[in-house]
């Protein structure tokens, strides 16, 4: 029995190491897969059939209500944040489909200590957006930044640059990403 004890312990440690590594990198890999899946989608032109040809959307959760379907995924750095090795970082992606047509693509990331940031491809820009892309800072009466939205229309080149729009590896990095320029490389160009 003793001669089997050491190999069993070694095998158990290797298995635990593989499991822990998977739990650390899985959120970043999942978010990167989602960003690749939405790359090139064009609101008002891409159809639900186009969406479902992409492997990520064939397995993705979706919910339909009153003619609008929402394909949605979420990723959280649960293990790293649970062990206090990184701030909690949450990533979400959603694609809205109405009457068989993609009407909005939405990517959201938040990190404890920073205001949430969203990148949104939409068919119609808000009236107070004069540029494409448009950066909107949401500041309530208490004058503390609540969130940041980067909106762009379907003719913007950003729709073809989604994988590099947000750094999904922030979900699996020790200590995470500590600034907007780390979380969203576009932040430097857009002067966030």
pLDDT, tens digit (0-9, with 9 covering 90-100), for 117-162? 899 998 888 888 888 888 888 877 777 777 888 888 888 888 888 8
- Structure-block tokens of residue 142: 């208490």
* Per-residue confidence (pLDDT) for residue 23, from 0 to 100: 83
pLDDT category of residue 11 using cuts at 50, 70 and 90: confident
Phi, psi of 147 (to 5 degrees): -170, 165
User: Which residues partner with 90 through β-bridges?
Assistant: 76, 110
- C-alpha–C-alpha distance, residues 123 and 125, integer Å: 7
Q: What whole-number percentage of the chain has pLDDT above 90? A: 32
**What is residue 136's predicted lDDT score, i.e. its pLDDT?**
86
pLDDT tens digits for range 33-90:
999 999 989 999 999 999 999 998 988 889 999 889 999 999 999 888 888 999 999 9
Model pLDDT for residues 78-122, shown as the tens digit of each residue: 888 888 999 999 999 999 999 999 999 999 998 888 888 899 998
**Average pLDDT rounded to a whole number, residues 157-168:** 84
Residue 3 has pLDDT above 90, yes or no: no
Q: How far, in Å, CA of 151 to CA of 165, rounded?
A: 12
Q: Determine how β-strand 101-111 pairs with β-strand 61-65.
A: unpaired
Q: What is the pLDDT of residue 40?
A: 87
């Amino acid at each position: 029995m003793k001669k089997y004890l050491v190999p069993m312990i070694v095998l158990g440690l290797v298995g635990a190491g593989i499991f822990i590594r998977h739990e650390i990198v899985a959120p970043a890999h999942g978010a990167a897969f989602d960003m690749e899946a939405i790359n090139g989608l064009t609101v008002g032109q891409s159809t639900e059939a186009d969406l479902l040809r992409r492997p990520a959307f064939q397995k993705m959760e979706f919910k339909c209500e009153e003619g609008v379907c929402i394909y949605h995924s979420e990723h959280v750095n649960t293990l790293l944040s649970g062990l206090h090795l990184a701030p909690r970082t949450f990533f979400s992606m959603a694609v809205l489909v109405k009457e068989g047509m993609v009407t909005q693509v939405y990517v959201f990331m938040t990190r404890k200590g920073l205001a949430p940031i969203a990148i949104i491809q939409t068919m119609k820009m808000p009236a107070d957006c004069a540029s494409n892309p448009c950066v909107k800072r949401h500041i309530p009466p208490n004058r503390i930044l609540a969130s940041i939205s980067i909106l762009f229309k379907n003719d913007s080149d950003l729709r073809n640059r989604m994988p590099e729009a947000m750094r999904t590896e922030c979900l699996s990095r020790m200590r995470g990403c500590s600034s907007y320029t780390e979380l969203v490389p576009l932040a430097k160009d857009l002067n966030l």
